[in-house]
Structures are given as structure tokens and as C-alpha cells.
Structure 1
Amino acid sequence: MISEIANRIFDRVIADYHVHDQIDHPIDNPYEGSTLEHLLYLKCWIDTAQWHMEDVVRNPDIEPREGLYWKRRIDRQNQERTDTVEYIDSYYLQQFAHVTPLSDATINTESPAWAIDRLSILALKIYHMAVEAERTDVSHAHQESCQAKLNILLEQRKDLSQSIDELLAAIAEGKKYMKVYKQMKMYNDPTLNPVLYGGKK
């Protein structure tokens, strides 16, 4: 099941990142470049670095210039995240290119890759909520609250994992079909963002 593979890779990425716990530490992707596993590792590494960028920029004492620097880095990182999701969807489009949808096949509300994107973010939430639940410098109430949230996150991961596996199986059987819309983000495009091309809003 792809969800089992993805969850295992995402947990590995987060563990690998926290060996050094540095946003700019180089990625050491252990999977061959042409594989889905390579894309999954890359996707979660991008998410993990962005998670920590988001922490940094929320420092109430951050200098405005540094805050702007991190905001722009987050924008670039988010574009890389979106691009990687679309690479994963391209993988699946190719994977299912031979499948002829049934006459009553339906479309899903999101593509497989965007569901996998949610799974990657869930892995990060689970890791960091577990850290909070295990802290010894906080009240017992804090620990209990975080453990309760962690239990919900783990249930979410189980449900989402099952849904992803069922979606991919349904596509393979022709019961559902993929139709991927590129995100067409405008804010990073100098030809589409009025502020960047000098036009009026």
C-alpha cells in the first residue's frame, strides 16, 4: 500500500532532518531520482524545512528585515512544495495512462498527490505534537492536552492513509479517474502579479 510506504518515508525524513535540525542542511535523498520514493522524500523534506521557517518567522522579537527575508523564503519554499506535488501527480498520471475509466467513473475532490501532501503535513504534526506531549518542563495539563491532540492526529493519519489507498485502487480499476489542474499560482509570477510587473491592482 502506498500510504504505508509514504508514512515510512515521511517518518524517516523527519528523523533525518532533526539529526542536525538546521533549515539549510543539505538534503541527502537516499532514493534513486526516477522513483516515487525519491519524490516522497523530497516532498517531506521541503515540508519539514518550511515547518521550521514558519516557526522562525513567528518569533515576536524578529527584526522586520529578517521577518521579510523569511517570508520570501517561505514563499519560494511553498512554490517548491507545489511543484513537487505536481511531479507526484505526473507520476500517477503516467502510472494510470493505460487505464480506461468505466462509463460511470467519477472524479475525486483532490488528486492523489494533494492527498499525499496532507499525509506529509500530518507526519510533521504527529512528530511535533509527540515532542510536546513528552516535555518535562511543562504542566501535566499541557502534556495531557497534547497527548489528546496526538491521538486525534494518529487517527487522522489512519483514516487518510486508508482513503489514499482506496482512491488509488479505484483509479487503477477505472472506478475513478484523475484530472489534474495545475495550481497556476500567480503571486510568484512576474507576468501575473501586478506588483511585480508594475501594473495596477
Structure 2
Amino acid sequence: MFAESAFKTFEQVVIDYHKTDSVDAEMPNPFESGSIEFLLYKKCWIDSVQWHFEDLIRDPRIDPAGALVLKRKIDASNQHRTDLVEYLDAYFLDKYQSVLAMEGATINTESPAWALDRLSILALKIYHMDEEASREEADVAHREACAQKLVVLQEQRTDLITAIDQLLSDIAAGRKYMKVYKQMKMYNDDELNPVLRENKRKENS
């Protein structure tokens, strides 16, 4: 099924990222550009880099100037993540555009691509929780607690994969329909963010 295949792609990304474990590494996407597999790989690569950005910025010894640079990178990464989710949803909208919704068809609380976004993050959680559950220098209590959390995450993976495939099946059959709202982020827009708007006004005055 599609979601299981997507999760395997996400797992591959996480493994590939940790071959260098560097936020500056080039993305080694093995799939054909423009394919759904290419997009899914790119999506999880963005998530993997951002996961480690978030680790770095929580360093209490971080240089303030460096923290600001890193914060800007996190903001840009968030925007790329959102843009790619919307691009993925465009793929599904195009795929199911000829499907006629049944009478009484319902809309889901989230689109297929945002559900896949959760699955991508879940692949990262599982990888890192498994790492903690087997970290030799950690004490037994820590490893056991992480092993218990890992079981829950694996159950969540099974449930989420099932739910995504069910959603896609329902859309394909017309039992559900897609309706995607663009993310109207205001803080990146120099006309909607009052701080950016004021800075722009001063620059132009």
C-alpha cells in the first residue's frame, strides 16, 4: 500500500542522513526528479535536517549570534516544509480530480500530505527513540523507558499507515473528498507582519 511504501522511503532518508549526520550534507536523493518518491524523499530530508537544527539551537552554550543564524535557517526550513506539503497535496488533487464525490461524502480533518508529514516525523522519532533504547552509556532505567516509548511509536506507525491508506482509498472511491487550504503564514510576509512592514517603510522613506 502507498503509506507503507512512503514510510520505507522515510526510513531510507533517515538512514541516509545519519551516514554523515550533518545538517550541511547534500541530499542524496536516488529517485527520479518529479516522481512521488523523489518528493517524499525530499520531504523527509527537510524534516531530518530541521530535527537536528532543533537539537543544535537548544544548546545552552550556543553563541547568540550563531543562534540567530540558526533561527533563520529553521524559519526557512519550516517554509520549505510547508511548501512541499502543499506541493504533495497538489499531486493528490491532480490524481483524484476525476473522482466524483458520492452524496454524503465527507471531508477529512487533514489532507493526505499533512498526514504524510506526520508519518515522516514519526520515522525520525522511531529512529532516535530506538537509538536511545540501545544507547550503552545510558542507565538501565533510561533504556527501558525509551524501549516502552518505542513500542508506542511503532503502534502509532501502524495506525497512521492504516489511516492514510484508508483515507486515500475513501478519496479514490468518492466516500471522502479533498479540500486543501493554503497555509497563510503571516510572520514571513513583509505586508502582514507589522515588524517587517515597519522595517520596509523605514527603508523606503
Q: State TM-score, norm by structure 2.
A: 0.96
The separation in 2 between residues aligned to 1:191 and 1:35, in whole angstroms, is 35
Let me know the Cα RMSD of the aligned residues: 1.1
Distance 1:92 1:65 in 2: 41
**Match of 1:168?**
168
1:151 maps onto 2:151 in alignment: yes
Identity rate of aligned residues, in percent? 57
Match of 1:129 in 2: 129
CA positional deviation for 1:191: 2.0
Residue in structure 2 matched with residue 36 of structure 1 by the alignment: 36
**Whole-Å Cα distance in 2 between the matches of residues 32 and 193 of structure 1?**
38
- Structure 2 counterpart SS, 1:19: coil
1:119-170 deviation line (CA, Å, top 9, x unaligned): 0000000000000000010110000000000000000010000000000000
Alignment coverage as a number of residue pairs: 200
- Cα offsets for 1:31-63 (capped at 9, x unmatched): 112211111000000000000000000001111
Aligned twin of 1:188: 188
Partner of 2:20: 20
Residue number in structure 2 paired with 1:76: 76
Unaligned 5+ residue runs, structure 2?
none
Question: Residue type matched to 2:142 in 1?
Answer: H
* Poorly superposed stretches of 4+, deviation over 6 Å: none
For 2:62 and 2:34, the matched residues in 1 are separated by 40
- Equivalent position amino acid for 1:177 in 2: Y
Show structure 1 runs of 5+ residues with no match.
none
1:194 is displaced (CA, Å) by 1.0
Distance 2:137 2:160 in 1: 33
Name the aligned partner's letter for residue 64 of structure 2. Answer: P
